[in-house]
Structure 1
């Protein structure tokens, strides 16, 4: 009897957590098709881009999918800027003033390269997702924290090293990571290769937590309020 009770509690907890299966009845085929249709669009007018991506779609989750799909298929990861940022942040970790100056300089570089070259690092991906979603009337936030790769422990990273998004759909918050969905950097050539992987699109919070740890605990989406 006790085992059955534990099973029911566990099952109920899973149902409470926002996850992609909440939208199993919705096909993202049209949203992805629209995203592909506008491949190569520039970033000089985000309202126009948002309108083009979302005007033909009926639900917020489809609109967000079109935005997410477009970003992941059009924005490249910038290896050089990512490496430089990691190096500078380690170098200045014990100097708050120097770190603040670098962060401001890096921010300007990120936005300039994002707009002009459509290349960026994780904060640029998260920023663009948030801006486009907000323009579409969808509540979206940037989440900063730790990304775990290659089996490293979160504790091994002294400073936050990654950014992703939380998006509110149908009154519930969901998690996604456009950086890790967009593709990979070939470490032999240091060139970015597009390879859309939507497994990080509205991933279940428990699965997401295996590779992402936010600096603010609320964004794990694992508490009872979620």
Structure 2
């Protein structure tokens, strides 16, 4: 009976994901990622983050959790793009980024970790990040397949006046199933919908 309950829990926590997983398997890894506070270089940060990671999935998870809980959305940079930097080293030092900075930092950290990652751009539809509809996110290659995720939207939300960001983690955007992800993400290149039947924004 106990085994059946564990199986049910695992399946429930996999709902909406493109990978079957039990989120409890990440408990120690997540706690470690949240405590790491290295900002001197991407290489050193990744090295420390991955001390407790034993698979590519766990490496991606550690990178993801660190970014979502340590990088805040740069509301000033959003209003004045000249003040925003997208370079991973700059984002790491400042602790702030707009979506392009989040996605580029994630891509760079995956590169250092030896994990194939793709920076994606397109249009979006989201109540937490109002304003222009251009957006950036990522895809990672795990176990022979591409999977989608969005560090920016997972990290928190901005207020109605677009002056303040609040950290508020959203698990939903980690390795989200393409069918669900496609409801509010519209990549410029249709192939990155990762769906056999491509949809238009109007049909989503």
TM, length-normalised to structure 2 = 0.78
Structure having the higher Rg: 1
RCO higher in structure (CA 8 A, sep ≥6): 1
TM-score by length of 1: 0.71
Aligned to 1:65: 61
TM-aligned CA distance change 1:139 to 1:206, over 3 Å: same
Provide the rounded CA distance (Å) in 1 between the counterparts of 2:86 and 2:79.
Answer: 13
- RMSD over equivalenced CA pairs, Å: 2.3
Separation (CA, whole Å) in 1 of partners of 2:25 and 2:65: 14
SS at match of 2:86: helix
Tell me if 1:190 matches 2:158. Answer: no
1:165 to 135, 138, 151: 138
CA shift for structure 1 position 22: 2.2
Partner of 1:50: 46
CA–CA distance in 2 between the matches of 1:126 and 1:202? 14
CA contact (8 A) 2:156 2:167 kept: yes
Change (3 A) 1:217 1:189: closer
Aligned pair 1:120/2:125, yes or no? no
Match of 1:110 in 2: 86
Partner of 1:166, secondary structure, is strand
The 2-side partners of 1:82 and 1:184 are apart by 13
Contact 1:76–1:120 (Cα < 8 Å) also in 2: yes
Q: Which has the higher helix share?
A: 1
Gaps of 5+ in 1: 1-17, 86-104, 151-156
Matches within 5 A, 1:1-226: 19-24=17-22, 27-38=25-36, 40-42=37-39, 44-85=40-81, 109-111=85-87, 113-150=90-127, 161-187=134-160, 190-223=163-196
